[in-house]
Chain A
Amino acid sequence: MSRRPLVREVPPTTWFFRHPRYMRYMAREVTSLFIGAYCLLLVVAMQRLSAGPVAWQGFLDALRGPGAIIFHLLAMAAAFYHAGTWFNATQKAMPLQIGEEFVNGSYISGAHYLVWAVLSVAVLFFAGVF
């Protein structure tokens, strides 16, 4: 009897099609592209702002185009999903033990959602939305 173990390779580029949980993971990772693209947009915005009022107005006009609006909607959806997965992870990464008991994880994630909501309202307030 010989020992000749069979190695079954994992397909390096298509492995995530094998299970819905891997697809969910990839969806989470792909949201980073939108977050990254939005960060680039902010950098461009600052550059346009420093270039003077005409350049800034041109940038604002460009944002009103349908392509820019679709991008913003997609980026916002990606940001919500990304933030949600991150906040849901906090209860795993930062468990809180009081005495012999652990605080229910939903409180830890919930606290992050709450801070997110408060900060968002503050940003909107300082931006003059209300």
Chain B
Amino acid sequence: MKERLVQLEVLRYNPDTDTEAHFQRYEVMCQEEWVVLDALNKIKADIDPTLNYRWSCHMAVCGSCGMMINGEPKLSCHAFLRSYEGVIRVEPLAHFPVERDLVTAPDDFMEKLKRVKPYVITKQKKPIEEGEYKQTPAQLMKFRQYSMCINCMLCYAACPEYGLTPHFVGPAALTLAHRYNLDSRDEGRKERMEVVATKEGVWECTFVGACSEVCPAHVDPASALQQLKIVGSIDWIVEHLLPGGKP
């Protein structure tokens, strides 16, 4: 099996001893088909057990191992070493507070996710005897793409708006709001739009489009946000310009 010596420059931060972060260089023998996460695992196992980072599935499903790799938000399990030349710079996800080394604090994202109510809301629950909530394939396709989000937060790390104005609800949470708004079983659009169609919500987005470029699940959050702007505008026109209008 072909091997090569890989150099990684990893951002280190220890809250117990450091006031600032610094980079630490590692040299590690890696197999050709490995990803950056494999290299980090090898470092932790053989060179430096104090290195901290999150990971779980190792197959781009769980969304735990997001990092900045050469300045680009990536799942480290999805970033093949063979795609990089020279020293590979590994940093924690941008725009999130660094807890320790490559581990970030996702609290802000989790709070925003809760605010948009990312679940089916029905005004009246159906008794179980009445059966399931049915949906046609066409109704499913309307939102299916947006349901593929794995909450990896790469879109937040890519979004300069979120970096500059942290109160922005952000791409993934807004996309999930749109996903449930589009769901034929859902009746919670009005509640969600109170969070979505606001300055902190979708109107903070200036359509840089970086979220869609880095999304590993091809969710295309930028499209969801632009569609939400149209929905929000129509709601506003109906409410303010049409007699007796209610969105």
Q: How does the 8 Å CB contact mask read for B204-220 relative to A, with 1 for contact and 0 for none?
A: 00111110110000001
Contact partner of A93 (CB less than 8 A), chosen from B13, B15, B18, B230, is: B230
Tally B residues with Cβ within 8 Å of A.
35
Query: Whole-angstrom distance from the CB of B212 to the nearest CB of chain A?
Result: 8
Take A10-B163, A12-B164 as given contacts and tell me if A97 and B142 are in contact as well, using a CB distance cutoff of 8 Å. yes
Tell me if B78 counts as interface (CB < 8 A to partner A): no
- Give the interface centre of B13, B137, B160 by most chain A CB atoms within 10 Å: B160
Contact B208 A18 (CB under 8 A): no
- Which residues of chain A in 9-54 are interfacial with respect to chain B, using CB atoms and an 8 Å cutoff? 10, 12, 15-16, 18-19, 21-22, 25, 29
Determine the residue in chain A with the shortest Cβ distance to B207. Answer: A89
**B99 contact set on A, CB distance < 8 A:** 3, 5
Take A8-B94, A8-B98 as given contacts and tell me if A93 and B142 are in contact as well, using a CB distance cutoff of 8 Å. no
**A99 contact set on B, CB distance < 8 A:** 138
**A19 contact set on B, CB distance < 8 A:** 71-72, 210
Contact B16 A1 (CB under 8 A): yes
Contact A15 B222 (CB under 8 A): no
Take A21-B208, A100-B138 as given contacts and tell me if A7 and B160 are in contact as well, using a CB distance cutoff of 8 Å. no
Tell me if B141 counts as interface (CB < 8 A to partner A): yes
Tell me if A126 counts as interface (CB < 8 A to partner B): no
Tell me if B245 counts as interface (CB < 8 A to partner A): no
Query: Whole-angstrom distance from the CB of A15 to the nearest CB of chain B?
Result: 6
Complex Cα spacing A92 to B98, Å: 33
Take A1-B16, A3-B15, A100-B137 as given contacts and tell me if A93 and B229 are in contact as well, using a CB distance cutoff of 8 Å. yes
Complex Cα spacing A50 to B98, Å: 63
Query: Whole-angstrom distance from the CB of A46 to the nearest CB of chain B?
Result: 29
Q: How does the 8 Å CB contact mask read for B127-163 relative to A, with 1 for contact and 0 for none?
A: 0000000000110011000000000000000001001
Complex Cα spacing A95 to B144, Å: 14
Contact A15 B160 (CB under 8 A): yes
Contact A21 B141 (CB under 8 A): no
Contact B223 A10 (CB under 8 A): no
Tell me if A102 counts as interface (CB < 8 A to partner B): yes
Complex Cα spacing A1 to B15, Å: 8
Take A10-B160, A16-B160, A22-B160 as given contacts and tell me if A92 and B15 are in contact as well, using a CB distance cutoff of 8 Å. no
Complex Cα spacing A8 to B97, Å: 7
Take A5-B97, A100-B138 as given contacts and tell me if A15 and B209 are in contact as well, using a CB distance cutoff of 8 Å. no
Complex Cα spacing A19 to B229, Å: 26
Query: Whole-angstrom distance from the CB of B233 to the nearest CB of chain A?
Result: 11
Query: Whole-angstrom distance from the CB of B113 to the nearest CB of chain A?
Result: 19
Residues of A within 8 A of B (CB): 1-8, 10, 12, 15-16, 18-19, 21-22, 25, 29, 89, 92-95, 97, 99-102
* 12 more A-B residue pairs beyond the given contacts A8-B21, A15-B163, A97-B138, with a C-beta to C-beta distance below 8 A: A1-B15, A2-B15, A5-B15, A6-B15, A8-B94, A10-B160, A12-B164, A16-B160, A21-B213, A22-B210, A25-B210, A92-B223
List, sorted by A's number, 22 A–B pairs whose CB atoms are closer than 8 Å.
Answer: A1-B15, A2-B16, A5-B97, A5-B98, A6-B15, A6-B20, A6-B98, A10-B160, A10-B163, A10-B164, A18-B71, A19-B72, A22-B208, A22-B210, A25-B209, A29-B206, A92-B212, A92-B222, A92-B226, A93-B226, A93-B230, A97-B141
Residues of B within 8 A of A (CB): 13, 15-16, 18, 20-21, 71-72, 94-95, 97-99, 105, 137-138, 141-142, 160, 163-164, 206-210, 212-213, 220, 222-223, 226-227, 229-230
